[in-house]
Chain A
Amino acid sequence: AQSVTQPDIHITVSEGASLELRCNYSYGATPYLFWYVQSPGQGLQLLLKYFSGDTLVQGIKGFEAEFKRSQSSFNLRKPSVHWSDAAEYFCAVGSTGTASKLTFGTGTRLQVTL
């Protein structure tokens, strides 16, 4: 069964500082990996996804993530955080079948201090 671990429940960074959110997955084959962001009381917005190819994936809002098969990781990064980035971030792994069911991690809440 597929699973996702986000070891950091809560992270606080200063505005302008760099950010890295950790994500480790467990999946038997090559996974489909996603990062979503959720603002309070809102739905999910896709930041980026990895299906295959280049292991460094660029997303929206200046985010990027790197797929490392040897470490079973898909960490999300941003070089300079903005106060508007404060939100809940979810890493997810999807099946390679046609159903594309997603399994989510427990999320990391990002707080940005000014």
Chain B
Amino acid sequence: GAVVSQHPSWVICKSGTSVKIECRSLDFQATTMFWYRQFPKQSLMLMATSNEGSKATYEQGVEKDKFLINHASLTLSTLTVTSAHPEDSSFYICSARATWRGNTIYFGEGSWLTVV
């Protein structure tokens, strides 16, 4: 079936540094991908919609300069957390819309970010 892969699964970075998380659709093209953030024992909160070849659309309250999203190809979107701080530590999940499967949304495995 359709697969969405995220890399890395786990990452630890120092405060003040930047970290990039990749989201790939492995067997389908995705013009639209989504980035979510999930705090422990909480629900998923949509951060932004990533559109191939154009700027991402950010949800209210999400700092676009801090969470840089690039969707350079039909199978890859990246989320870069810039100048990371401990409060950015979270579980980040991406999803991709498979238009060829009735617009079904498939999720990646998620990426744990810990900022120390």
Q: Nearest Cβ in chain B — how far from A30, in angstroms? A: 14
Main secondary structure of the interface of B (DSSP, over half): strand
> CB-defined interface of B26-65 with A at 8 Å, one 1/0 digit per residue?
0000001010000000111110010000000100000000
Closest to A4 in B: B43
Are the C-beta atoms of A90 and B44 separated by less than 8 Å? Answer: yes
> CB-defined interface of A8-33 with B at 8 Å, one 1/0 digit per residue?
00000000000000000000000000
A107 CA / B39 CA spacing, docked (Å): 12
Are the C-beta atoms of A43 and B108 separated by less than 8 Å? Answer: yes
Report A20-78 residues with CB < 8 Å from chain B CB: 34, 36, 41-46, 49, 51
Q: Which residues of A contact B105 (CB under 8 A)?
A: 34, 46, 94, 100, 102
**Would A104 and B34 be within 8 Å (CB), given that A42-B109, A44-B93 are in contact?**
no
Are the C-beta atoms of A36 and B43 separated by less than 8 Å? Answer: no
Q: Which residues of B contact A43 (CB under 8 A)?
A: 4, 6, 93, 107-110
Q: Nearest Cβ in chain B — how far from A88, in angstroms? A: 9
Are the C-beta atoms of B46 and A101 separated by less than 8 Å? Answer: yes
Are the C-beta atoms of A105 and B103 separated by less than 8 Å? Answer: no
| A103 CB–B CB distance under 8 Å | yes
Are the C-beta atoms of A100 and B43 separated by less than 8 Å? Answer: no
Among all A-B residue pairs, the 9 with the closest Cβ atoms: A43-B109, A44-B107, A43-B110, A106-B43, A104-B44, A104-B43, A43-B107, A100-B97, A43-B108
Given contacts A43-B4, A90-B44, A94-B105, 4 further A-B contacts (CB under 8 A): A43-B107, A45-B107, A46-B107, A104-B43
B interface, CB within 8 angstroms of A: 4, 6, 32, 34, 42-46, 49, 57, 91, 93, 95, 97, 102-110, 112
